[in-house]
Chains A and B, each alone.
Chain A
Amino acid sequence: MEKHIVAGSLKRNRQLRKILSYCVLTCVGIIMIYPFIWMFFGSFKTNAEIFGSQNLLPNSFSFDAFVKGWNGVGQYNFTDFFKNSIMIVVPVVFFTLVSCSLVAYGFARFRFPMKKLLFGLMISTLMLPDAVIIIPRYLLFNKLGWLNTYKPFIVPAMFACYPFFIFMLVQFLRGIPRELDEAAEIDGCGSFRLFVRILLPLMKPALFSAGLFQFMWTWNDFFNPLIYINSVKKFPLALGLRISLDTSSTVAWDQVMAMSLVSILPVVLLFFFAQKYFVEGIATSGLKG
C-alpha cells in the first residue's frame, strides 16, 4: 500500500518536473526568438510605427523599407554590398578548406621531425588573441599594397591561418581507420592521391562543418572589413549596413531592420538547412559560436 503511494507520488513528481521543464524551455525559447520575430515584423513597419506602437504585427505590410533600404543612401546599393560579401566569403571558405585539410592531413597521418612542437604551436594559436597581431598585420598589408583589396582576407585563408579548422579536421581524420591508408599504399597509391581520392571524400561532413563556420564568421565579420576596406565601392554587407546606421542624424530604423534582415538571411537559411553540421561541428571540436 505504502509502496504504491510512494510510486504514485514519484510519478506525479516526474510529471510535474516535465511540465515545469517545458515551461522553462518555452519561456527561454520565446526570449531567444522574440528579437528575431520583432525584427522581421519591424521591417514591414514604418519608422513612426516602430516607435509609436507596442504591437508586434504591423498595421499594414509595406515593402517600402526594403526598396528604400536596398537602394541605399549613396551611389552604391545593397546589390553591390551583397556582391562584395560574396566575393570575400567564397574564396575565403574555399581556400580555408583546401589549406586546412592539407595541413590536417599532414598532422594526422605523418610522423616528421618536431611534429609535437609544431602541433603544440598550432594549438596554442587557438588562444592567440587577434587584437595582438592586428596592427602589424595591417602594417604588413599596407606595405604590400593590399589595403582596400580582399587579399587581407583571402591570403591568410590560403595559408591555413585558422587553427580551429585544422584542429577540427585533425580530430576527424584521427577517427578514420588507418587500414584504409595502408591498403591504398599497398596498391601503390601515392600519399597525395590517397588524400584526394580516399580521405577527402570521407571527410565531407567535417569539411562541411568547417565551411559553414567559416562562411558564417566571414559573413558576419565587421572588424576586419572596417580596418582593411575603405572605399564604399568595395564595402561588404557589414559595412554597408553601418552606412545606413551612421549617415543621417535620424536613423531610418525601418530600413535598417529591413536590410539587417536581408543581410542575415543567407546565414539563417544555411543554418536551418544544415544545422546538423553546425551542432556536430561544435560538439566535436569545441568551436566558439
Chain B
Amino acid sequence: MVELRESAAEAVSQTPAKKKRSFRKWRGLLYITPWLIGFFVFQFGPLLASFGYSFTNYNMMSAPKFVGLKNYIQLFTADPEFVKSLTATLTYACISVPAKLIFALFVAYILNFKLKGVNFYRTVYYMPSILGGSIAISALWKLLFMKEGIINGLLSAINIGPVDWLGTPGTAMIVICLLQVWQFGSSMVLFLAALKQIPAELYEAAEIDGGSKVKQFFKITLPMITPIVFFNLVMQSINAFQDFTAAFIITNGGPLKSTYLIGMKLYDEGFRNFKMGYACAISWVLFAIILLFTLLVFRSSDAWVYYEDGGDF
C-alpha cells in the first residue's frame, strides 16, 4: 500500500524531481569547472604541446619545423653540456635527497623524546625551509662559502683551509647540496608527525624483550614510518631533479659545469637561445627520468613500505 502510494507520488512529480536529480548529478562538476579549465589549458595542454614541440625546431620567429628525433639524438650524442648537466643533476639528487631525509629523520627522532621546548626547536629548524628557495638565501649562501667568507674564517680557527668552496667542482656541489639539506624542516615535521603515531605498546613490548634502542629503531620505528619515508623520497626527488635557483645564483653552473643542473640547461636553451623545441626535448628527458624514478620507487615500495591497514595508497 505504502509502496503504491509512493510510486504514484513519484509518477505525479516525476519530471521536476528528475530534473532536480540530474542537476544534482552535475552540480559537483560545476564546482570543479575552474580546475577543469585550468587543468586543460595550463597543465595538460602544455604537457602535450611540449611533447609535440620536442620533435621540432622552433625559435619563435618562424613556424615550428618537424625534425623527428633529431633533438633527442643531438642531446645524447652531440651535446656534452647536456650529458654533464644530466650527471650533475643525478649527483645532486642522489646526495642531497638521502642526506636531507636521514638528517630530518635523525632530528625528528630526537625531538620525539618527551623533551621540554620541542616547539621552540621545531620552529628554529623549520625556519630555513620557508626561506631556502629564495634568492636572498642563495645570495647569503654564496657569501658564506666564498673564499674570503665566514665558513673559511671559522675553519681557519681550527687550522683548516682556506678551501676554495665555489671554485672546485666537488666542493661546489657539496655547497649547493648543503643548502638543500639545511632546508630539512618540512621533511622533519612530517617525520615527527609519523613518529608520534607509533603506538607506545610496541616499544614497551620490545623493552620487555630486552631489545636495544638501536634494534628498536630499525625493527619498529623505521618500518612503521616507511609510508612517510616513501612520500618524502618521491616528492623531494621530484623537486631536486628540477632545482634551479641555488645553482643559478651560487655557482652559475660552474666550475667546469660541475653544478650545471638540468634546470639551468633548460633555461639556457629555452630562454637565452630560444631553441624552444630543443628545450622541450630536454624537459621530456627530465620528465622521463622522473617518471622512471617514481615508477621504480612505487614498484619497490611493496617490498619496503609497510601499511598498517594493508595499504591502498
Contact = CB atoms under 8 A, between A and B. Distances in A.
A267 B137 CA distance: 13
A17 B113 contact: yes
B283 interface: yes
Nearest to A212: B130
Contact of B249 (A245, A275, A286): A245
Nearest to A271: B130
Interface stretch (B3-11, B65-73, B90-98, B116-124): B116-124
Contacts of B25: 111-113
B301 interface: no
A121 interface: yes
A159 B132 CA distance: 28
Given A36-B127, A286-B235, A222 B29 contact: no
Nearest to A99: B34
Interface in A231-289: 238, 241-242, 245, 253, 256-257, 259-261, 263-264, 267-268, 271-272, 275, 278-279, 282-283, 286-289
B238 A127 contact: yes
The A interface, classified by DSSP as helix, strand, loop or mixed, is: helix
Nearest to A42: B143
Contacts of B47: 128, 132-133, 136
B143 A103 contact: no
Contacts of A156: 38, 42
Interface string A128-146: 1111111111111010000
A178 interface: no
A54 B153 contact: yes
Specify the main secondary structure of chain B where it touches its partner: helix
A21 to B, nearest CB: 5
Contacts of A17: 113
Contacts of B122: 279
B292 to A, nearest CB: 13
A109 interface: yes
A44 interface: no
A287 B186 contact: yes
B48 to A, nearest CB: 8
A241 B45 contact: no
Contacts of A110: 27-29, 31
Contacts of B276: 135, 139
B288 to A, nearest CB: 10
A250 B139 CA distance: 14
Nearest to A125: B43
Most buried by B among A32, A105, A238, A282: A32
Interface string A159-199: 11100001000000000000000000000000100000000
Nearest to B120: A29
Interface stretch (B167-175, B263-271, B303-311): B263-271
A24 interface: yes
A202 interface: no
Interface string B193-229: 1000000000000000000000000000000000010
Contact of A160 (B28, B34, B124, B267): B34
Contacts of B290: 127, 129
Nearest to B64: A139
Given A264-B131, A272-B123, 16 more contacts: A17-B113, A32-B182, A110-B27, A112-B25, A127-B235, A131-B266, A132-B287, A135-B46, A135-B283, A136-B53, A136-B280, A139-B49, A220-B135, A221-B133, A257-B139, A271-B127
19 contacts: A28-B107, A38-B140, A54-B150, A54-B157, A112-B25, A128-B47, A130-B242, A136-B49, A139-B53, A161-B38, A161-B39, A191-B27, A217-B133, A220-B134, A271-B127, A275-B123, A279-B122, A286-B231, A288-B236
Which 4 pairs, one residue from A and one from B, show the smallest C-beta to C-beta distance?
A110-B28, A289-B186, A159-B38, A106-B31
Interface of B: 25-32, 34-39, 41-43, 45-47, 49-50, 53, 60, 107, 110-111, 113, 115, 121-137, 139-141, 143-144, 146, 148-150, 153-154, 157, 182-183, 185-187, 189-190, 193, 228, 231, 234-236, 238-239, 241-242, 244-245, 249, 262-263, 266-267, 270-271, 276, 279-280, 283-284, 286-287, 290, 294
